[in-house]
Amino acid sequence: MSKEIVVSGIRSTGHLHLGNYFGAIQNYVKMQDGYNCYFFVADYHSLTTHPDPKDLRENVFRVLAENIASGLDPEKVALYAQSDVPEIPELYLMLNMLAYKGELEKVPTFKDKVRQQPDNVNAGLLTYPVLMASDILIHKAVKVPVGKDQEQHLEMARNFAQRFNMRYGDYFPEPQVFRFNHDAVKIMALDGSGKMSKSENVNATIFLSDDDDTIKKKIMKAKTDAGPTEPNAAMPDYIQNLFLLMHLSSRPEVVDIYRSQYNNCNIRYGDMKKQLAEDMAAFVRPIRERAVELQKDEAALRKILKEGAEKARASASQTISGARKLIGINY
Ligand code: AMP
Ligand code: TRP
């Protein structure tokens, strides 16, 4: 039986952090054997904020290296840069004719951006969901591993697929959000201010490129409080987040010890953070070291991108030629 097709992308803005790792990359790694996977660096998507060309290049290489260092195997999946697959912007152009200004303006992520960068509300920002739909539909993917924040974009991808199918004949399957566990892992920033992210609260975010010392300092500064005052009390979300991080990086016995201390109201957060700092530093270290090694050999990374693009284009060119025919671009 042929494997189901999976697509996902990571934007090449900023450094990857624990949220990206546990919320996205770890799932990609788990999927690489059982599915036909297309994973890519969304470099075109990052152009909406006009990055410095030098930074863009560096970011693409780093994101690629960090994904491989985290366990993605370029032999098993198609790992490529979005901009190396010209069929994606071609499909984007076609789908743009089926996407309406009104619906695009209503997208919450677009409205957020309008608030954040009122002087740069460009058309690329407005049509971000159309480009994302093209990334997915170009391989006729059925499963898309993404976080909760991307669900609305996926719904739009289904709408565009349906609209194309209605007008030109049944062609695209409708892609669905894919999750391993029922609830997606969401990592909060260490200061409790919201989710860990690439651009906000850098000091409360642990990056895969952070060295041991930086990781330890950040964790020791994580928000805590005076501790629970009654047994088995509900945990505030920032304490829950520390336990989650501990669960992801420490041995189960260690987590149990602190959990029972919490339930018995004799937890010392300083000790817990020290333990977590050690374990998280040890967890990130091999990933960081491997990513640094990989980034030293740009020729090897370029080769991986080239081979990834070849795999992606083999599938993309088929999809686009079928779409052209259906539309009538068939002279
Ligand atoms: P982004 O960094 O926004 O480009 O997101 C890349 C991927 O990482 C998406 O699938 C996000 O849902 C996921 N992600 C980003 N931040 C977090 C977080 N704090 N917790 C869990 N997943 C996240
Ligand atoms: N928009 C996604 C994000 O910000 C990244 C992305 C771009 C993506 N194209 C995609 C994710 C296609 C899944 C499939 O996280």
Residue 59, token pair as written in the block: 């970011």
Does one domain contain both 86 and 126?
yes
Any atom of ligand 2 within 6 Å of the Cβ of 113? no
Does one domain contain both 111 and 215?
no
Residue 191 lies in a domain: no
Does one domain contain both 105 and 224?
no
Does one domain contain both 142 and 82?
yes
Residue 187 lies in a domain: no
Nearest listed ligand to the Cα of residue 148: 1
Instruction: Give residues with Cβ within 8 angstroms of 208, minimum separation 6.
Output: 15, 16, 17, 18, 20, 21, 66, 69, 70, 284, 287, 288, 291
pLDDT of residue 181: 65
**Domain at 227, CATH number:** 1.10.240.10
pTM to 2 decimal places: 0.93
Any atom of ligand 2 within 6 Å of the Cβ of 146? yes
Range of the domain at 212: 202-292
CA of 250 to the centre of ligand 1 (A): 22
Residue 186 lies in a domain: no
Residue with the smallest CA separation from ligand 1 atom 10 is 146
CA of 14 to the centre of ligand 2 (A): 15
| Cβ-contact 65, 18 below 8 angstroms | no
Residue 307, token pair as written in the block: 């081979």
CA of 88 to the centre of ligand 2 (A): 13
List residues with catalytic annotation. Answer: 113, 195, 198
Any atom of ligand 1 within 6 Å of the Cβ of 218? no
pLDDT of residue 182: 60
State phi, psi for 8 to the nearest 5 degrees: -155, 155
Residue 75 lies in a domain: yes
The Cα 28–Cα 26 span in angstroms is: 5
Any atom of ligand 2 within 6 Å of the Cβ of 244? no
CA of 178 to the centre of ligand 1 (A): 14
Any atom of ligand 1 within 6 Å of the Cβ of 149? yes
Does one domain contain both 20 and 142?
yes
257 burial via Cβ count (<10 Å: 0-12, 13-18, 19+): middle
Ligand 1 atom closest to the CA of 13, numbered from 1: 4
Any atom of ligand 1 within 6 Å of the Cβ of 85? no
Does one domain contain both 136 and 255?
no
Residue with the smallest CA separation from ligand 2 atom 9 is 132
46 burial via Cβ count (<10 Å: 0-12, 13-18, 19+): buried
- Total domain count, the chain: 2
Provide the pairing of β-strand 143-144 with 36-42: unpaired
Ligand 1 atom closest to the CA of 8, numbered from 1: 10
Does one domain contain both 118 and 84?
yes
Residue 81 lies in a domain: yes
| Cβ-contact 247, 255 below 8 angstroms | yes
Any atom of ligand 2 within 6 Å of the Cβ of 9? yes
Does one domain contain both 9 and 40?
yes
| Cβ-contact 287, 66 below 8 angstroms | yes
CA of 330 to the centre of ligand 2 (A): 31
Any atom of ligand 1 within 6 Å of the Cβ of 11? yes
**Candidate of 17, 20, 28, 70 to mutate for ligand 1, largest count of ligand atoms within 8 Å of Cβ:** 20
Does one domain contain both 21 and 148?
yes
Ligand 1 atom closest to the CA of 185, numbered from 1: 21
The Cα 212–Cα 230 span in angstroms is: 35
Neighbours of 95 (CB within 10 A): 24
Residue 124 lies in a domain: yes
Percentages (nearest 5) of helix, strand, coil residues in the chain = 60, 10, 35
pLDDT of residue 183: 64
| Tens digit of each residue's pLDDT, the chain (331 residues) | 689 999 999 888 888 999 999 988 998 999 999 999 999 999 999 999 999 999 999 999 999 999 999 999 999 999 999 999 999 999 999 999 999 999 999 999 999 999 999 999 999 999 999 999 999 999 999 999 987 789 999 999 999 999 999 999 999 999 999 986 666 688 999 999 888 988 778 999 999 999 999 999 999 999 999 999 999 999 999 999 999 999 999 999 999 999 999 999 999 999 999 999 999 999 999 999 999 999 999 999 999 999 999 999 999 999 999 999 999 999 9
